[in-house]
């Protein structure tokens, strides 16, 4: 189901309800070069497919991959990736692999227009590459069309596996794939997170010496900043200053989780827990009505946050490098950091979505070559290079350990992890590609409705996800 169709269906159902209610050894091979092609994203989307992560059959012995010197020599494979704004950097990684891999494998990169562009390319049937890097739920949403292969045997291999690359002391340990216990068609490379941007310089000027550690303190800081903008000589910033709301899918999921909502997959389509959803609706609507939170014309926080239109703004890890550029070029040279979402129970929380890879079914040699390149991308040194491109947290361990130089030069990058928040990974299923959009649409509705109609949104939410699930091919 397309995002447009989800939005239309949700709108129709809500209106109807309201009316009713009132490291590998390497060897040079210099004969081949690499170029990256860029594919422009299309706007068409297909219905998503049944989730494909499923229980594994009876456990088997650890597999072993055997490769002869000439088995893969000269083999050409392609990798589809979303790093359109870092093509040169990813191309350099590919060149390094092509020039140094022991087996003579040659990789060519093909860039889509970011993760959204890659999603659209997947849904339009434009991705026929051996290795595909994209959001996990987007990859699984098209599983029936693309025929991604199960990766467990590769992952568990004694020499070429990846199980040992995931650190046991990582803050993401509980999300490490359980190879052999379930069938894994994707493996996470990195995690994107919903976060809050916090202007420490402005907050200190207002008398707040420490970041907010509760929802009440967050609104107190937002109120103070709003009052400053309301009473200065700039009429253009009236109504701003407080918490800026992005209304993104990650924002919606983060507020739901901050109020105790669970994401456990369910038979027949996901349905949110009513009370966390209603409580988060009420909190956001009351904050909005009191001008402690506000929504702008622009969908990204860059100018609002750097120009002191928001002392706190919603963001994501992938947007931090752009925010940093705005901060450096803005009139206010403020210090800033990132925070987890304050929870209703006093605990902070973070919601993650995974950037993953999958391998398309083809011949055994191409599949193996794709795995060897993907395995190389999982190594700590390559994970550190990838962070420079995507700005996400590496899936294999503590961000500060894997990329200490990047963490040191970008102190805001991993700051949201410092308060030991509760971390939740959204379900790695094809269904979630549409569920996250229903979350987004539901949270957008609350600002135009009185709270007495919020239960109707909850009912329509569940009905919409059930309908989406029933209409899957």
State how far the alpha carbon of 51 is from the alpha carbons of 28, 154, 294, in Å: 41, 21, 36
Q: What angle do CA 433, 439, 444 make, to 5 degrees?
A: 130
Q: Could you tell me which residues come within 8 angstroms of residue 312 by beta carbon, excluding any fewer than 6 positions away?
A: 196, 197, 198, 199, 212, 218, 221, 222, 242, 243, 244, 339
Report residue 171 as tokens. Answer: 């803050």
Question: What's the token pair of residue 301?
Answer: 């926080």
Q: What is the dihedral of CA 162, 165, 169, 175, to 10 degrees?
A: -40
CATH superfamily of the 37-189+355-398 domain: Periplasmic binding protein-like II (3.40.190.10)
Q: What is the distance of C-alpha 147 from the center of its chain?
A: 23
Query: For 420, left (φ over 0), alpha (ψ -120 to 50), or beta?
Result: left
The stretches in the chain having pLDDT less than 50 are 1-59
pTM: 0.87
Q: Does domain 193-351+427-470 have CATH number 3.40.190.10?
A: yes
pLDDT for 63: 66
Report pLDDT for 7. Answer: 42
**Dihedral sign of CA atoms 258, 264, 270, 271 in order:** negative
Tokens of residue 50, six digits = 């049944």
Domains 37-189+355-398 and 193-351+427-470 share a fold: yes
Q: Where are the domains of the chain?
A: 37-189+355-398, 193-351+427-470
Tokens of 73: 């020599």
Structure tokens of 395?
A: 């899936």
Mapping DSSP onto H, E and C, the string for the chain reads CCHHHHHHHHHHHHHHHHHHHCCCCECCCCCCCCCCEEECCCCCCCCCCCCCCEECCCCCCCCCCCCCCCCCCCCEEEEEECCHHHHHHHHHHHHHHHHHECCCCEEEEEEECHHHHHHHHHHCCCCCCCEEEEEHHHHHHCHHHHCECCCHHHHCCCCCCCHHHCCCCCCCHHHCCCECCEECCCEEEEEEEEEEEEEHHHHHHCCCCCCCCCHHHHHHHHHHHHHHHHHCCCHHHCCCEEEECCCCHHHHHHHHHHCCCCCCCCCCCCCCCHHHHHHHHHHHHHHHHCCCEECCCCCCCHHHHHCCCEEEEEEEHHHHHHHHHHHHHCCCCCCEEEECEECCCCCEEEEEEEEEEEEECCCHHHHHHHHHHHHHHCCHHHHHHHHHHHCCEECCCCHHHHCHHHHHHCCCCCHHHCCCCEEEECCCCCCHHHHHHHHHHHHHHHHHCCHHHHHHHHHHHHHHHHHHHHCCC
Per-residue model confidence as pLDDT tens digits over 307-353: 999 999 999 999 999 999 999 998 899 999 999 999 998 899 999 99
Confidence (pLDDT) at 278 = 97
Q: Render pLDDT for 373-431 as a digit per residue (tens, 0 to 9).
A: 999 999 999 999 999 999 999 999 999 999 999 999 999 999 999 999 999 999 999 99
Residue 361's pLDDT is: 95
């Amino acid at each position: 189901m397309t995002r447009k169709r989800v939005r239309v269906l949700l709108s129709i159902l809500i209106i109807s309800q309201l009316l009713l209610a009132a490291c590998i050894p390497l060897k040079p091979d210099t004969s081949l070069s690499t170029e990256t092609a860029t594919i422009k994203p299309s706007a068409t989307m297909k219905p998503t497919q049944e989730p494909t992560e499923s229980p594994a059959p009876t456990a088997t012995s650890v597999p072993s991959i055997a490769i002869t010197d000439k088995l893969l020599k000269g083999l050409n494979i392609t990798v589809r990736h979303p790093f359109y704004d870092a093509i040169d950097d990813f191309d350099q990684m590919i060149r390094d692999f092509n020039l140094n891999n022991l087996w003579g494998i040659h990789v060519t990169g093909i860039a889509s227009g970011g993760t959204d562009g890659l999603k659209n390319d997947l849904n339009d049937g434009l991705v026929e590459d051996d290795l595909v890097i994209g959001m996990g739920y987007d990859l699984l949403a098209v599983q029936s069309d693309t025929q991604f292969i199960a990766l467990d045997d590769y992952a568990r291999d004694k020499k070429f596996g990846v199980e040992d690359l995931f650190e046991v002391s990582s803050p993401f340990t509980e999300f490490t794939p359980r190879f052999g216990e379930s069938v894994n068609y994707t493996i996470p490379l990195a995690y994107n997170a919903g976060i809050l941007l916090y202007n420490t310089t402005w907050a200190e000027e207002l008398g707040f010496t420490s970041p907010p550690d509760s929802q009440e303190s967050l609104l107190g800081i937002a109120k103070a900043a709003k009052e400053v903008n309301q009473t200065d000589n700039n009429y253009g910033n009236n109504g701003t200053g407080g918490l800026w709301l992005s209304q993104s899918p990650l924002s919606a999921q983060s507020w739901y989780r901050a109020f105790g909502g669970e994401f456990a997959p369910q038979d027949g389509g996901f349905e949110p827990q009513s009370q966390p959803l209603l409580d988060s609706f009420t909190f956001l609507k009351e904050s909005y009505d009191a001008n402690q939170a506000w929504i702008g014309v622009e969908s990204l926080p860059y100018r609002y946050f750097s120009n002191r239109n928001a002392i706190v703004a919603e963001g994501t890890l992938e947007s931090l490098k752009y925010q940093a550029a705005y901060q450096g070029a803005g009139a206010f040279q403020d210090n800033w950091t990132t925070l987890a979402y304050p929870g209703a129970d006093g605990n902070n929380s973070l919601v993650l979505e995974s950037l993953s890879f999958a391998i398309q079914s083809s011949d055994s040699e191409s599949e193996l070559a794709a795995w060897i390149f993907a395995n190389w991308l999982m190594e700590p040194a390559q994970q550190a290079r990838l962070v420079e491109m995507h700005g996400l947290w590496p899936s294999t361990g503590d961000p500060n350990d894997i990329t200490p130089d990047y963490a040191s030069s970008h102190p805001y990058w991993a700051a949201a992890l410092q308060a030991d928040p509760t971390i939740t990974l959204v379900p790695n299923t094809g269904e979630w590609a549409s569920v996250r959009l229903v979350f987004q649409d539901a949270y957008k509705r609350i600002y135009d409705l009185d709270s007495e109609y919020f239960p109707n949104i909850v009912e329509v939410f569940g009905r919409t996800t059930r309908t989406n699930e029933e209409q899957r091919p």
